[in-house]
Amino acid sequence: MLKLYDYELSGNCYKLRLMMSFLGLEHTTEAVDFYPGNQHKSEAFRQINPLGQLPVIDDDGLVLRDAQAILVYLASKYDTSGKWYPCDDPAMLGQISQWLAFADGITATASAARLHDALFYTHIDVDAARSGAHRLFRILDEHLFFAEEIGQTWICPGDHPTIADIACFPYIMLAEEGGVSRMDYPAIRRWCDRFKRIPGFKVMSGVFPAGPAADQSAA
C-alpha cells in the first residue's frame, strides 16, 4: 500500500493528499515532525530521502521524493481516466510540465515568505520572496483571465483540471500567511474557488472549503 511521509502544514505534502483524495487512493501516513523537531533532517529520515525534504512516498518499495515528480507518478499509474496527466497528448504534457516548473517558483517565493512569517526563518530575504510571488501571481492571473475569455476553466486546456492545477494551488492559497495578498488577482481567486469544488477536495489548516456558489463573473 502507498505510504506518505507527511507534515500536515506542508503545502507540498498537501498536494499529494489532494491527488490521492481526488483519485480515491487508499494510503497510510507517517507523520514527520518538520517543525520544531526537524525530524526530516535526522539520520533516520535521510536514509529514506538523502535530501532531507518532504514529501516522500513509498509505493510497495518504490521510494519517490519531490511533490511534482510524485504527482506525475500517481496520475500516470493510478488515474484510469487519463485526465489528470494525459500521457498520450504531447502538447498537454509540455504545458503541464511548464506549469509544474512554475509551481516550483511559487514554492521558492510565496512559500518562502510563509516560512519566514510562520516559522521565523529569518535567513530568508522576505521582501524579495514576496516581490517574486507577486510577479508570478500576475503572470498566472493574466493567463487565467484570458483562458476564461475563451471558455477555459483550468490552467491547461480542456474541461478537466490537471496536476498543474494541484501543483500551483496550495501555496497560492497559503500565500496570505506569508504576507502575499491575493486581493489584486481576481482570476486566481475565481480559479481557487473552482478548485475547491472538485469532487474529493479536502482542506488543510489555512485552506477552507468553498463558500456558497455565486456568480463568479463579479469576483
Helix-helix angle 163-173:67-78, to 10 degrees: 140
Does residue 206 belong to any structural domain of this protein? no
Residue 214: predicted pLDDT: 54
Phi, psi of 148 (to 5 degrees): -60, -35
Beta bridge pairs of residue 56: 5, 65
Residue 186, preceding peptide bond in cis (omega within 30° of 0): no
Is 183 in the same domain as 114?
A: yes
Give the Cα separation of 188 and 108 in Å (integer): 19
Determine the structural domain holding residue 142 and report its residue range.
Answer: 90-199
Task: Looking at 150-181, list the stretches that DSSP marks H as alpha helix, in order from N- to C-terminal side.
Answer: 163-173
Residue 86, preceding peptide bond in cis (omega within 30° of 0): no
pLDDT surpassing 80 at residue 217: no
Is 61 in the same domain as 116?
A: no
CATH code, 187: 1.20.1050.10
Residue 127 parent element (H or E): helix 126-149
Is 43 in the same domain as 109?
A: no
Look at the chain and report how many structural domains it folds into: 2
| Interval 120-147: pLDDT, tens | 566 889 999 999 999 999 999 999 999 9
Whose cell is 493510478? That residue is 78
| Interval 35-83: pLDDT, tens | 777 789 899 889 989 998 999 999 999 999 999 999 999 999 999 999 9
Does residue 211 belong to any structural domain of this protein? no
Does residue 111 belong to any structural domain of this protein? yes
Is 58 in the same domain as 122?
A: no
Give the Cα separation of 91 and 84 in Å (integer): 14
Is 193 in the same domain as 98?
A: yes
- Strands 56-59 and 27-31, by their bridges, are unpaired
Confidence of residue 215 (pLDDT cuts 50, 70, 90): very low
Does residue 218 belong to any structural domain of this protein? no
Does residue 26 belong to any structural domain of this protein? yes
- Out of 32, 55, 78, a domain closes at 78
Confidence of residue 155 (pLDDT cuts 50, 70, 90): very high
Does residue 214 belong to any structural domain of this protein? no
| Interval 84-116: pLDDT, tens | 999 999 999 999 999 999 999 999 999 999 999
Does residue 85 belong to any structural domain of this protein? no
Angle at 7 between CA 188 and CA 9, to 5 degrees: 40
CATH code, 45: 3.40.30.10
Direct distance between the N- and C-terminal alpha carbons of the chain, in angstroms, rounded to an integer: 42
Does residue 25 belong to any structural domain of this protein? yes
Is 41 in the same domain as 72?
A: yes
Is 20 in the same domain as 61?
A: yes
- Out of 13, 43, 78, a domain closes at 78
